[in-house]
A and B are shown apart, each in its own frame.
Chain A
Amino acid sequence: MSELRIRFDHVTKCFGSLCVVDDLELDIAKGEFVSLLGPSGSGKTTLLMMLAGFERPTKGRILVDGAVVDTTPTYKRDMGVVFQNYALFPHMSVGDNIAFPLQMRGVGKAEIAERVARALDMVQLSALSDRWPAQLSGGQQQRVALARALVFEPRVVLMDEPLGALDKNLREQMQLDIRALHNRLGLTIVFVTHDQSEALTMSDRIAVFNKGKIEQIGTPREIYDHPQTRFVANFIGETNLLEGTVAGRSADGLRVRLSNGAELTASASDNYTPGENVLVSIRPERIRLDALHGGDNQFAAKVADSVYQGNHLRIQLDEQAHDFVIHLDRKAEQHAPGADVTARFQPDDCWVIRS
């Protein structure tokens, strides 16, 4: 990992007896894009607010570039914050909004003009410099907020669900735009979201929050393919979770006996001892419906339901195949309810989680 920028050192934040952030540790490297992902109330926004200086930790320390910042007021922290509802100043034009952080830093007039122009250019809003925020669309306001948070080249950019208010297409476009800016400018970004696909799209690493703690932190691929807890497996994407016990090891992976007596082979990282209770997670898009003679991990079942969802076909199997949910390429043959099928997946495509 490259140079350390932010360290949360056993940070706890309690409101009365309720602790929304609980003894949390997290390191963020310079130039990294880290998403804090979790359901509402999981403490991710509170953590961001503490980093920005709007809240003080009850216990623990926050270090930025090696220095403890807990007593540093927000305005001295040099962090660009993009708020959920943009928080543009309604009485200032777009250009004045972006010039504001530079004026606060005593930058000269000519330089302000030049840097504002550059920031506007960066978010492709050069033509709208003289407009009032209220005259802009949501996406444009979002880009102004972004330009304002970036124009003073802060050490860290904090984003609190900045895309939540945008519609789907615009949101996806903005995700890619922010991602591109991050890559181009080498920004350190801490991004709070409850949208798992957003986190997967944008982040270098994702920290999955649950009840004030980080359940798992890792790259999007690690989080999606190798969840470590039931919570993470459920929260990130859709998955089929089967309960079972460890039966032993085979060449392909771990043998797991399911509650109905059937066995399957799954990949696993940790050392599991036989008899241990585990969960097996199988992503819906990894399951196929073509029988392979003599293969492992096959379940004969009937189709219980089949729903056309545009880019894929969502098929639900009956209890013989543990009510599997399967996503199939939509060009695949129709599987009408009641049809006999065999569900099959590779040991590589299912993953063992400690229960």
Chain B
Amino acid sequence: MSGTGGKGHLSAIALVAPLFLFIAVFFLWPLGTMMSQAVSDTAVLRILPQTAKVAANWDPETPPTAEMKEALAADLRAADDRQAVGDMTRRLNSAQPGFRTLMSRTTRALRKDDAPPLSEIDERWDDPRFWQAITGALSPTTDRYLLAAVDLERDVSGNIVAMPEEASANRDIMIRTFWIGALVTLACLAIGFPYAMLIASTEGWKRQLLLGAVLLPLWTSLLVRTAAWFIILQDNGLINAVITGLGISSEPLALIFNRTGVVIAMTHVLLPLMVLPIYSVLISIPGNLMPAAASLGANPLRAFVRVLLPLSLRGVASGSLLVFMTAIGYYITPALIGGAGDQMISSVIAFYATGSANWGMAGALGIVLLVVTLLLYAVYGRLSAAEERRN
């Protein structure tokens, strides 16, 4: 398109515009919405704008002032969206138990024309703790979901402290998620590396066949594959039938509804993501390096460790990263094949998103997952950049 610089530029933009539009509408916008849900907290501020103004100068250690109470009463009278008031109440109740009854009593009282002052409606309005809960919830942004996602919270004075043990299990589930991801990555590596070497060492139809065998699962629906494993792994399934049939064990092995089953099924599903990057690196390694190592006196094992393995590390790194990043987001397989103790963070996110409509928590957990993934990716980027400088 030389000579028509401006025009060519425009048509290039026009060509990629659908893509950008698609990404913006179906990826960036929902992602942004979810992430802002995780830090936004306007449920209280929306209903109590006057209170917010008056309470800005209040010292939380002192009793609430009369102006604050008047402003709150005015705000509550002005509120006509019952749904929004409900949201606010739930928000305040989670910070300070007792708000639910307090709010319903107060709003009922305020509906009368000659409503008494707040202190007379309920004496709890003289308790600074309830006002601390309100002022604490007035900020339009919050880190409480993010903190809660990693089992932290703020105490009354605003310091970040660990949640009580029984309050939340997010951190345990997060660690479990990474642990399962690591196990699956290791299993994929242990199976995938030799397999990639096997593919790379063959040619013609054999190579096509071996590649097809690893690609086939990739073309099958995840749900179908998981369901197949469900059938194979159960107590009277294929594997246990063989084991008991051969008399290796009289009892069927526990392969389903536990960690073993989850790792087996996830390894199978994710294996292509490990094999393909390693394979593509292996076939790019010049064929005469291993013969050269042998001629220089390296036995096959040492030649592998000193030459082939270091040269294929880039493929191992990208394969492991792909498998791990995909594994920590897994939902269907642990849900179908795992037991209660094998649920991963995605199922917790799903619970908050669809079960309890707590979009803030769902978004916060999603952010944590995203940050971990990006960190890993950054590490990988640094490593591969270092390697590129060498070549």
Contacts and interface: CB of A to CB of B under 8 A. Distances in A.
A90 B291 contact: no
Contacts of A84: 288
B294 A132 contact: no
A106 to B, nearest CB: 10
B307 A89 contact: yes
B248 interface: no
A69 B378 CA distance: 51
Interface in A50-96: 52-54, 73-81, 83-85, 87, 89-91
Interface stretch (B44-52, B259-267, B298-306): B298-306
Instruction: Identify the interface centre among B296, B297, B302, B311: most chain A CB within 10 Å of its CB.
Output: B296
Contacts of B299: 73, 75
Interface in B286-336: 286, 288-289, 291-300, 302-303, 306-307, 310-311
A75 B306 CA distance: 14
Contact of B296 (A53, A85, A104, A158): A104
B390 interface: yes
B291 A85 contact: no
Contacts of B62: none
Nearest to A148: B296
B306 A100 contact: yes
Interface residues of A, number: 29
Interface string A10-37: 0000000000000000000000000000
A224 interface: no
A75 B295 contact: yes
A78 B295 CA distance: 7
Residue of A80, A89, A149 most packed against chain B (CB within 10 A): A89
Nearest to B309: A91
Q: Which of B291, B292, B299, B391 has the most CB of A within 10 A?
A: B292
A87 to B, nearest CB: 4
Contacts of B297: 75-76, 78, 101, 104-105, 152
Contacts of B289: 87, 89
Contact of A83 (B292, B300, B306): B292
Nearest to A83: B288
A74 B292 CA distance: 10
A134 interface: yes
Nearest to B391: A134
Contacts of A100: 293, 296, 298, 306
B311 A91 contact: yes
Interface string A276-316: 00000000000000000000000000000000000000000
B108 to A, nearest CB: 76
Given A87-B289, A89-B289, A74 B307 contact: no
Nearest to A79: B295
A253 B347 CA distance: 100
Contact of A87 (B291, B300, B306, B391): B291
B286 A87 contact: yes
Contacts of B286: 85, 87
A85 B293 CA distance: 14
A78 B302 CA distance: 16
Interface string A117-157: 00000000000000010100000000000001100100000
A91 B310 contact: yes
Given A91-B310, A132-B390, A81 B292 contact: yes
B255 to A, nearest CB: 41
Contacts of B391: 90, 132, 134
Interface in B274-293: 286, 288-289, 291-293
B288 A90 contact: no
Given A87-B288, A100-B306, A132-B390, A81 B311 contact: no
Interface string B355-391: 0000000000000000000000000000000000011
26 contacts: A53-B294, A54-B291, A54-B294, A73-B294, A73-B299, A74-B295, A75-B293, A75-B299, A76-B297, A79-B295, A81-B295, A84-B288, A87-B286, A87-B289, A89-B289, A91-B390, A101-B296, A101-B297, A104-B298, A104-B302, A105-B297, A132-B391, A134-B390, A149-B295, A152-B296, A152-B297
Given A81-B295, A87-B291, A134-B391, 15 more contacts: A52-B291, A52-B295, A54-B294, A75-B298, A75-B300, A79-B295, A85-B288, A89-B289, A89-B292, A89-B307, A90-B311, A91-B307, A91-B310, A134-B390, A152-B297
